[in-house]
């Protein structure tokens, strides 16, 4: 009986530790449904395959145990390729990439809407924090180290 208890405790701790290893990324469509059920802060990361700093964040910040834990507990986390060709329906509006064929790096409409800066060209990486009402509270247009991202998320 005691052995069973210890095995159960070990397996429970092991499985819990395994679940925290990666961020539970969701899509914009899943986000809309989730926000209706349980309002929560939102973290959005826009990236592109060619973006060196996006890749660095993927390998460092987004693998950090503290970052993973905070994002999974306190936020809905959305990761989107800023050059996606997919149509996204959010809030009853369909967003598309209207720049395909017009630009060497065609940026999706939803990326431009949420992550553009006045009088500056669109650049990556872009990480956004939104409140429970989906209002942007913070925008970061640079690489965030694990330590900096923890500080940003834990504000």
Question: Rounded to two decimals, what is the model's pTM?
Answer: 0.84
Q: How far apart are CA 6 and CA 11, in angstroms?
A: 9
Q: Are 89 and 29 in contact (CB under 8 A)?
A: yes
Q: Average per-residue pLDDT in the chain?
A: 89
Whether residue 31 is predicted with pLDDT greater than 80 in this model: the reply is yes
Whether residue 4 is predicted with pLDDT greater than 70 in this model: the reply is no
Strand 75-81 versus strand 41-47 pairing type: parallel
pLDDT tens string 102-143: 888 999 999 999 999 999 989 999 999 999 988 999 999 999
Strand partners, 120: 117
């Amino acid at each position: 009986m005691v052995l069973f208890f210890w095995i159960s405790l070990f397996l429970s701790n092991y499985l819990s530790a395994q679940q925290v290893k990666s961020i539970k990324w969701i899509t914009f469509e899943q986000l809309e449904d989730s926000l209706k059920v349980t309002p929560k802060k939102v973290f959005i990361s826009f990236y592109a395959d060619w973006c060196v700093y996006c890749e660095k964040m993927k390998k460092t910040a987004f693998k950090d145990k503290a970052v993973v834990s905070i994002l999974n507990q306190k936020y809905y986390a959305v990761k989107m390729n800023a050059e996606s060709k997919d149509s996204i329906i959010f809030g009853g509006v369909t967003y598309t990439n209207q720049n395909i064929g017009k630009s060497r790096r065609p940026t999706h409409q939803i990326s431009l809407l949420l992550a553009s800066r006045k009088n500056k060209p669109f650049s990556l990486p872009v990480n956004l924090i939104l409140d429970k009402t989906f209002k942007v509270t913070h925008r970061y247009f640079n690489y965030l180290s694990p330590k900096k991202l923890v500080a940003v998320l834990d504000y």
